[in-house]
Structure 1
Amino acid sequence: MLFGKLLPREGNFFELFNQHGAYIAEGARAFTRLIEHYADLSLREQYAEEVNNAERNADRVTAEVNRLLHKTFITPIDREQIHGLINAMDDVLDLLQDATETMQLYDVRAMTEEVLRLGDLSAKCCDRVAHVVTLLPKLSDHSVVEAAIKTCEEIDKLESDADRVMRSAMSKLFREQPDVRELIKLKAIYEMLESITDRCEDVANLVEGIVLENS
């Protein structure tokens, strides 16, 4: 009995999910400002650094979650679910940072309307990811369960919208872009932005599984 009392229990996993989600939303907002103000080099650099800061801070949260998993005997939800969720969340910010760096490395001339639309859909997905993880500690409340499932469905819809935008963007790009180098650059950016919504959908699927198993 004494042994059980001395074992580390619970850990602060839900709070760490919240922190990571906040960094995802922060990084997505900075990325949106970056593509909106892309023509202004100083603002572009400022917002790129904000994306990088959010990613670095989120990495520290991910490392803390993985450290706690090794130290905590009893976790609030299944260990594999914790590990899978925090790493899926980390993938979202990694892609935001990758997209930011790719634009700089490729020296993309200007943002297209399709980049702006995909960026907006990505940011909306990220905001919903940040929101849905705040609901995980409250799954004993039926209304919270319904809200979590609804938010996951919203992420799925946004991902489908991003798929449609990307298909249309690719079609337009190959029909209308005469510069092959610019075509290659934009194709990579479109695919990366659509992948952000894919990773958000991965998070939604994991959250939905946690909700169904723990409500």
Structure 2
Amino acid sequence: MGVINTIGRMFTPQNTMFYDMFEEISETVEEMGRQLKELVHCHTQEQKTIIASKIDDLEHENDNSTHMLLTELSRNFITPFDREDIHALALSLDDICDGIYASSKRIHLYKVDTSDSCIMKMADLIQEGTAEVARAIRCMRNKKTVKQMTEALVRINSIENQADDIYDLCIEDLFNTEQDVKTVIKKREVYQMLEKTTDEMEDAANAIESIIIKYS
């Protein structure tokens, strides 16, 4: 990358624009994490229907925001960091939202008992993880907050590891204790989608870490 382009990155309005857009998307990611936790912890199907609808709306909102960001990426030659890093981070955030939406949809449609300890623990971890993703993204525009950003990324990696352990234990317990085949199929699919969502959070953390390494 040439010196002119590097200097240009530091002073162009596009820098602020991309940071603003990522922060807006991260707010949606964080809100979807909160709504998923609320969905899992509420007690009536009517409440679950309302919350599932909110998550659906947020997922569509995120799709629009991601489309706008990628459109701006295609229009702007000068960006605050590498185009491939912007693209990777945008898609990883979108994948988190897709995972939360897919988890919510299955929980709602299958009428899965959300008092299940695995589902509750995984939803709690996703809520924590989405908050850390949003925290890391808010720190991106200021190099003085690299320490806080790194702490958030370490926390996301820890959450993903915890989710892996919970998933393995819950799958084992499900096959050992549940007699109804339909319930096994439904719960296993929900477990898998929740665990996959924590993987997507780690992918977002890796995308942010790549940016830190290049530009801090």
| Common topology (TM > 0.5) | yes
Distance 2:24 2:63 in 1: 11
Q: Is the 1:13–1:65 contact (alpha carbons within 8 Å) kept by the matching residues of 2?
A: yes
Report the 3-state secondary structure (helix = DSSP H, G, I; strand = E; otherwise coil) of the residue aligned with 1:48: helix
What is the aligned-residue identity percentage?
A: 26
For residue 9 of structure 1, report the CA deviation from its aligned partner.
5.6
2:130 matched to 1:126? yes
**Which of 18, 28, 43 pairs up with 2:33?**
28
Query: 1:110 and 1:10, CA in 2 relative to 1: closer, same or farther beyond 3 A?
Result: closer
Partner of 2:101: 97
Residue deviations 1:71-106, cap 9 Å, x none? Answer: 112101111100110110000000111111112332
User: Counterpart of 1:167 in structure 2: which amino acid?
Assistant: D
Cα distance in structure 2, aligned partners of 1:105 and 1:40: 14
Q: CA–CA distance in 1 between the matches of 2:38 and 2:157?
A: 24
Of 54, 74, 78, the match for 2:78: 74
* Worse-matched range after superposition: 39-48 or 124-133: 39-48
Task: Find out whether 1:55 has 2:59 as its counterpart.
Answer: yes
| 3-state SS of paired residue (1:137) | coil
Partners of 1:104 and 1:152 lie apart in 2 by 31
Superposed CA offset, 1:27-86 (max 9, x none) = 11111111111x312211111111111111111110111110111121011111001101
Structure 1: 4+ residue segments shifted above 6 A: none
Greater shift, 53-62 or 109-118, is seen at: 109-118
> Could you say what secondary structure the match of 2:14 adopts?
coil
With the length of structure 2 as denominator, give the TM-score of the two structures.
0.91
- Paired with 1:114 and 1:94, the residues of 2 have a C-alpha distance of 20
Cα 1:110–1:87 change in 2 (3 A) is: closer
Could you list the runs of 5+ residues in structure 1 that have no partner in the other structure?
none
Q: CA RMSD in A?
A: 1.5
Stretch of structure 1 that moved more, 18-27 or 39-48: 39-48
What amino acid does structure 2 have at the position aligned with 1:150? E
Give unmatched runs, 5+ long, in structure 2: 1-7
Task: Supply the distance in 1 between the matched residues of 2:68 and 2:116 (Cα, whole angstroms).
Answer: 38
Question: In the aligned structure 2, how far is the partner of 1:49 from the partner of 1:28?
Answer: 14
- Count of residue pairs brought into register by the alignment: 205
What's the counterpart of residue 202 of structure 1?
203
Q: Give the TM-score normalised by structure 1.
A: 0.91
Change (3 A) 1:179 1:157: same
**Structure 2 residue aligned with 1:19:** 24
